[in-house]
Each structure stands twice: as structure tokens, then as C-alpha cells.
Structure 1
């Protein structure tokens, strides 16, 4: 991909690593005009990548790279473009926290290195540039391709991974990322940890919705002494309890006694007492 300015002046290395600073060298950091040209190269490559993948909007742009903690590997051809060089393609990677499903369907939280965008100019594909760029990234990051996640890979990219790295069997996911078998084997390499399953909602007890509502309703409508005493904890009313009535305390209402006389004894005791008195008088 050619540009109306000198690519070799912007990028001194064959593969340059760009980050939030959008600079490939100290010289480009000190010159605002070079920063503008670097942004133009990134934006143009991002639009070409989106068009090739039939995306509605570019995934890669200079502004997005400045606002995200990602890295972009840009490959150039020094000899083309009339000696000014040309941009061959780019590869953007970054760490992302993902919630994935392993082979057994268990949710796992991971933060692997992800391939977020990968593009080689159409007229330069099948010339080994993609393999050169991808291999450089793997060596720079010291990571195996099976331990990476891939964001919405195209059919061409999947064929590339299958051909060069034997990544064929993927583990189905519910998001846009693709991971392959072997990703979950080395858990420490990709910072995996199982996420606790959501505790299922327990069965609602009858008292929790019915009896409590009755208690609250009685407290709102009944005056003292019908209303129960205020307490931070309320127990479930027993089915054997008796209703509270005027003139009876709650303790006496629950344990009825035999009727008594004014003297406080039973009828048999009163009769014997009267017989003794009549004997003494006689």
C-alpha cells in the first residue's frame, strides 16, 4: 500500500511496534508532522482491513490505538514505492479479560493475549508476509498461538492458523472470540480461574411471603394490646396457639384451668372444709 510520503522515513525497521504514543522512533515523537503521517497510515490500513472483512466500521484506527492499551505491528517493504517504501500490513494484539467456556462447558475467566486485527494488502497476500509478521509477534511476546484468543477471525485467518500452526479444533464460545483445544491445558500461561457458579434461588418458604405479610398487616391495623410487641426478630406463629382475648394474658390463654371458687380451692376441698366447721360448732 503506497502513500504520498516516505514510509522509510516514518518506520526505520522492517517491522515497527506502535503503541499509544504512535511513534516508531524518537524522531517521530519529536515531529508533529510525522505523527500525522503515521496516523494516516494506520487509518488507511484499518479501513482496508474492515473492507476486506466486510465490517461496518474499522476496528483499527490511530485514535483507537491512542485510547487503548494495545500494540500494533506494522510491516513495510523498503524497496517498493519508488524507494520510499510501502506498507505491507499490520497485526494488532492486546490483553483482554474474557469469560470463556472450556471443553466441559464450565465458565472460566481468562485474560489472554488476543489477536484483534490482522491484515495484509490483497496484492501482497500469499507471499509469506503474514507468516513473517505473525511469527515476529509470537517471538516478541513469547507466547504460543494455541494460548491466544482470536477476535472474529476471518475464514482466511482460520485457514492461516490451520496451515501454519495446526490450530483446527476450536472450543465453541458464546462471544466473538475463538480459542482452540489446548488453550485450557496450561492455565497459568493464560491466567485462568474458574468463576463461581451463580447460586440458584432457593425455594420460597410459605412464611416468607404469606405469614410475614399477615404479621405486618396486624401490626398496622390492630391497637394495643392486640398488636405483638416490637422485636427485631419475629417467629412464625404456631398453629396450636390461641388468639389473645381481652382479660386474658397470653400465657394463661394457652393453658386453660378448671374453674375455681372465691376461696381459691376446688369444690371437693370446700365441701370438706364446711363439714369440719359444722363439727366444731356442734
Structure 2
């Protein structure tokens, strides 16, 4: 769990909030002074979770920062918290999404341009709360809010927490003849009430994908 020196409860009116370029929770209501206080605290939360995500992925610098979010109108961060944890509550996970114009390989090895492709940009669940369904909860909330389907989402260099979901599907990976992306079509099982199978295409760096397959991480 990630705890802070301040009480996070006023920022999390519900367990999962979404934050856009204004750095305010979607549930926020308050005057100008309260708005400034909230953005200061959200900046600290986002920067901390972004750094933890980068550390867990072995990255030299975070993919997610409050400054980057402020400059991007087409990105959204979903944050999951437990208001009952610790003294001031605790933040448990982060999911950043957005849209990107991508050149992707299709099943025949040909590249195609996809404009405004729904993309998973960063994902992290605190180590103390992994394997408890929180990632699935974040992902499903995001799909509902964005009105996306899992089959339309692309992931560039997916973190190991996402790759772990697919480690038994490695035989389904197919490489395109050239370019930086790997097309990986397979079924993604999400147990939400009933088991629902989504056909998901993950597009990842070929070099990173080959390294991950060799090490058995996916």
C-alpha cells in the first residue's frame, strides 16, 4: 500500500477515481483554495505511483508524472484506493490510458495505420495487493468509463504485471516481417461474474517481446 502524509479520503469519494489534465479527481467539488490543495496532493500521488510503476518495470525514469498528464488532453489516469487502510487511507494501483496514432502489423504481416487507437500506457498494482483482482477491477472500470472493448486496446511494452496474465499464451505470438511491433492475438480471460473471453491484440516491442518469451515472462 502507498500511504501519504495527508488524508487521501477527501480525494477518493469512491474507490476508483479518474484524473485528467486538470489534475483533479472526477468526483472533486470545492472552491478555488480547495482546488489548489487537491491538485497539489494529486500531483504527489501521481508522481509517487508513477515512480513505483517505473521501478517495478526496471525503467530509468517514470512513464507517468503529473506534469506529463497536465500536458496531455487525451490521457486519463485511474487510481484505486482503500480509504480504510492505515491512518490516512492508501492508494493501491494506477492505470493510465490514452489514444495514439499507431502503425501496427495485422495477421498477414502488413502494417496498417490506426488513428486514435485506445492504448494502455501504464499499469501498476502495489506489491502487497497483487493477485487479489485489483488489476482486473481497474481495467474493467476503465473499459466501462471509456466505453472501450478489450479487443481494441493496444499495449506498448506491457509491464510484467500485464504480461504475467498471458504467460501461458506464448505459442500464439507471431512476428511481422519488419518494424518495431509484435502482434500477439489471444484470449484474455476476465472473471467478472461469469468468465468472459476477450480477443486482445497486444502490440509490443519485438526485441522486448523476444527477450520476455525467452525468459518465460510471457
1:96 is paired with a residue whose SS is strand
Deviation at 1:139, TM superposition (A): 1.7
The CA distance in 2 between the partners of 1:86 and 1:169, in whole Å, is 38
Q: Does 1:127 align with 2:132?
A: yes
Q: CA RMSD in A?
A: 2.5
Instruction: Give 2:64's aligned residue.
Output: 60
The CA distance in 1 between the partners of 2:23 and 2:183, in whole Å, is 30
Instruction: Give 1:272's aligned residue.
Output: none
Q: Does 1:87 align with 2:88?
A: no
Instruction: Say which of 171, 175, 194 aligns to 1:172.
Output: 175
The CA distance in 2 between the partners of 1:31 and 1:145, in whole Å, is 34
Instruction: Give 1:113's aligned residue.
Output: 118
1:1-282 matches, within 5 Å, as 1-24=2-25, 25-27=28-30, 30-68=34-72, 69-82=74-87, 84-111=88-115, 112-161=117-166, 169-172=172-175, 174-175=179-180, 179-181=183-185
The CA distance in 2 between the partners of 1:135 and 1:6, in whole Å, is 27
Deviation at 1:162, TM superposition (A): 6.3
Query: Considering only CA atoms, is the larger Rg found in Structure 1 or Structure 2?
Result: 1
The CA distance in 1 between the partners of 2:15 and 2:93, in whole Å, is 11
Deviation at 1:148, TM superposition (A): 0.9
Deviation at 1:169, TM superposition (A): 3.0
CA contact (8 A) 1:149 1:179 kept: no
Deviations 1:33-77 (A, max 9, x none): 221111000000000000000001100000000111200000000
- CA 1:34–1:14 in 2, change beyond 3 Å: closer, same or farther? same
The CA distance in 2 between the partners of 1:167 and 1:145, in whole Å, is 19
Deviation at 1:117, TM superposition (A): 0.1
| Structure 1, gaps ≥5 residues long | 183-189, 191-282
The CA distance in 2 between the partners of 1:131 and 1:97, in whole Å, is 26
| Structure 2, gaps ≥5 residues long | 187-200, 202-218
- CA 1:123–1:52 in 2, change beyond 3 Å: closer, same or farther? same
Q: Which structure shows the bigger proportion of residues in strand conformation?
A: 2
1:55 is paired with a residue whose SS is coil
Query: TM-score, length-normalised on structure 2?
Result: 0.74
The CA distance in 1 between the partners of 2:150 and 2:166, in whole Å, is 8
- CA 1:123–1:74 in 2, change beyond 3 Å: closer, same or farther? same
| Bigger relative contact order, structure 1 or 2 (CA pairs below 8 A, ≥6 apart) | 2
Query: TM-score, length-normalised on structure 1?
Result: 0.58
